[in-house]
Amino acid sequence: MAWRTRGHRGDLLESLIDISNDYYKNKGIARVDKISTPIKVVEQNSKGQITLGYFDKRSTVDYIGLAQGIPLCFDAKETWQNYFSLANFHDHQMDYMKDFKKQGGLSFFLVYFKKFETFYLLPFELVEEQIKKAQAGGRKSISHETCMEGAIPIGFLNNMLHYLPAINAYLDILEAKED
């Protein structure tokens, strides 16, 4: 897919996450970095700006890092709809997250429903479960209602998307399932 046709589908959420990550880094709380997708440049204008390019290979996830010694990998997704199509959760991302989780890391999605102005930490396990249901003939999307029931709300702190408390809540849920 050409770079210029792909659009900027996660700009607001990713900008908020980047601000949060800078804050967390400066406070020594977490180190989370944006993972760039390699682009093969085909055309540049006279100013050196890319005017046409292609993604060189599939990306894994949007962010990887550590929060107080806990390895994290997550992807940012946002929508104007009242659902996320499961087509937005790509096989290669799910495989990467599954492998990351097997190695002791946390895998999840940070999602933003623009229509409702709500942010959630969407557990990897919930997405995986919804994909299995869809493969068995069920719904092929994750609704806002499903997120309200099974995802973890994310709030703001000083105009910053404060997602670390949601990670703590996610850890509590995972620990409770192990007991």
Tell me the per-residue pLDDT of 97-123, one tens digit each, with 9 for 90 and over.
999 999 999 999 999 999 999 999 999
> Residue 72: helix, strand or coil by DSSP?
strand
Q: What percent of the chain has pLDDT over 70?
A: 87
Task: For each of the domains in the chain, give its residue range(s) and CATH number, in order of start.
Answer: 8-36+59-178 (3.40.1350.10)
Question: What is the DSSP code (8-state) at residue 2?
Answer: B
Q: Which of 58, 66, 65 is nearest to 96 (CA)?
A: 58
